[in-house]
Amino acid sequence: MSKDNLTTCSRCGSDACYETDLGADYKISMCYGCGFTTNTLMTHDSQFLEEQLEVLPELYKDLVYKDEKDQYWMPSTINNPEQGMIFIDGTSTDDWQWAASPAIEIPEDEKDRFPEGSTHKMDMKNVKRFKERDFIEALDYIGVFNNPDTPDPGSSINIGSTGSYPSPPSEK
């Protein structure tokens, strides 16, 4: 059984940091205030952290934040085929926003352009951008909170390499 708590985010200070205790000292924190996420394995020099950093796009890597407990936070990625996705859009750590793209049903006449069985596609025409601290608005925009199939918003949130990134990993 996992147990969820709201705590204060050590990155942005918001009190909308959602902590999931998965037992065995393993905890995931996901801040709805700033959209960053960490877990107890993401500490300095940990192999887990290194593996995460390897697959992160450059801008995500630059945005990784270390808190006073040597815990590393990275921007979260939302990629839910039936709701939409949220990703970071920007050119540098001083110039970025959350971009949210809702998913829409694939029109009948376009179905042959998608893998068999696909029902939804990302509606890139309706991508909306949100400020860093408005991450929760971005979640709301793609409907994370009003889908009865997703009672726990945390379940559609991926951490690091378990999610896929809309932008390709850097070649550096």
What are the residues binding Zn ion (CB under 5 A)?
9, 11-12, 14, 31, 33-34
Cα gap 9→16, rounded to integer Å? 7
* 103 vs 157 by CB, closer to Zn ion: 157
User: Residue 106 is encoded by which pair of tokens?
Assistant: 């694939």
Q: How far is the CB of 136 from Zn ion (least distance, A)?
A: 10
* 12 vs 138 by CB, closer to Zn ion: 12
* 12 vs 78 by CB, closer to Zn ion: 12
* 154 vs 169 by CB, closer to Zn ion: 154
Q: How far is the CB of 172 from Zn ion (least distance, A)?
A: 27
Of 87, 122, 116, nearest in space to 104 by CA: 122
Q: How far is the CB of 121 from Zn ion (least distance, A)?
A: 31
Residue 167 DSSP label: S
Q: How far is the CB of 143 from Zn ion (least distance, A)?
A: 22
Neighbours of 114 (CB within 10 A): 12
Q: What are phi and psi of 151, to 5 degrees?
A: -60, -30
